Chains A and B, each alone.
Chain A
Amino acid sequence: MPSNILRAPVNPDSASSDLGGASSSGTEEANDTSLVVAAQSGDYTAFDTLVTKHRGKIYAMILNMVKNDADAWDLSQDTFIKAWKALPKFENRSKFSTWMFRIAHNVVYDWTRKKKIQSEGELDDTILYADRIDPNAKTKPSSAGQPDHNLERDELRREIEAAIAQLSPNHREVVLLREVQGLDYKEIATVMNCSVGTVMSRLFNARKKLKTILTQ
């Protein structure tokens, strides 16, 4: 996987419109169901279409979890490969996107656990997060200049990303699934394999921590 990666948002307008009417999401769900049925009967083209539809959400979610483009790229692939393998077991009880987030959750969880075992005693690269670097340091990484109209938005994004990065993995995931991906509590509970009460508890605490971090 090439390491020098540019992040390309996928048509943000269409993404925001997805949050809107229930009818559009219902149609989308129906489309997914028919594609899943076709893929389950061995139609790889249908599966490829599902990959095209969901890769943006899965990649964005994993990227926000692992904070590394190359790892996110590989883990997103693993997620879809595992989805293909598990597709015969998918029974359309939940939305396909929720099921994909569930697989992504497991892939990231396994990867984090393995990485933790492998990197014991190695350099903790979380110390390289932008928010933990002394702004007055001579060796502070410089960021490329941005056009004025994007500067504020980029600054805000960096700020919230840095704050989310400081949360525990469970709090980070619940916040991203709820606030960025727009899943409801029940869907989040399915993805994270916990109760709705736990989801609410985690979300509540995560938001409180974020508030503290962002107001510091």
Chain B
Amino acid sequence: MKKPDDHILKEWVAGELDEQLLPEVEAWLDSNPDEAEGLALLSQDEHIDAAFGVLEREVDPPYPDFFHAKIRQEIEASSVSFSSVREVKPSVWKKLQWLLAPATAVAMVACFYAGTLVNSSDNDAKKVVYNPTIQTEFYIPDGAVRAEVIDEEDSDTVIVILDGLEPIPDEIDISVVDDSALDGIAYLPAPRI
């Protein structure tokens, strides 16, 4: 490439070269590193060189251990392990991945069937719990009160009748618990069966 004329180079050295001419000079500098180095020396200055000398080339980041830990944490959080980034040949598992969908469907059906079996055995257990043959004990502080337990097996309901309790006064709202109204006594709603 042709050397730019002295006038252009002078303007470049002065930092006053037109931007349109700049690529031409830069291309020449590219292909003529020795001459470019000579021109670069023109900008050398002892004072500036000395000033650069006080700037640290390396400054350790504060809390270096934390710095490393955070990098590792960020890498792990973004799941960028080399197993995922690196290009790997398809493994045997990858080749068999087409089996995944039908296998999942079969597993779901099996789980559903197993669930129905467990549910059925649960129902049996409930029947045993509410079997009237099992004796249920009630503690009744008033001897005049009679307790009766009715197990409605068909409707899965157990009814407890307490006969002989004092009727609950109408002024007591049993939907709202008010200790002052109850005067320290906890009432149970009267069984209405």
Contact = CB atoms under 8 A, between A and B. Distances in A.
Interface of A: 2, 5-12, 15-16, 18, 40-42, 44, 48, 51-52, 55-57, 59-60, 63-64, 69, 72-73, 76-77, 80-81, 84-85, 87-88, 153, 156-157, 159-161, 163, 179-182, 185, 195-198, 200-201, 203-205, 207-211, 214-215
Interface in B31-87: 33, 36, 39-40, 42-45, 47-52, 54-64, 67-68, 70-72, 74-75, 78, 80-83, 85-87
B30 A157 contact: no
Contact of A197 (B36, B58, B62, B81): B36
Given A159-B51, A207-B45, A81 B71 contact: yes
| Best-surrounded residue of B47, B48, B83 (most CB of chain A within 10 A) | B48
A28 to B, nearest CB: 13
A160 to B, nearest CB: 4
Interface residues of B, number: 50
| Closest 7 A/B residue pairs (Cβ) | A197-B26, A56-B58, A197-B29, A42-B82, A160-B51, A10-B58, A197-B30
A153 B55 CA distance: 10
Contacts, number: 165
A42 B81 contact: yes
Interface in B6-25: 12-13, 15, 22, 25
Contacts of A10: 56, 58-60
B130 interface: no
A181 B30 contact: no
A161 B30 CA distance: 30
B48 A210 contact: yes
| Best-surrounded residue of B47, B50, B74, B82 (most CB of chain A within 10 A) | B82
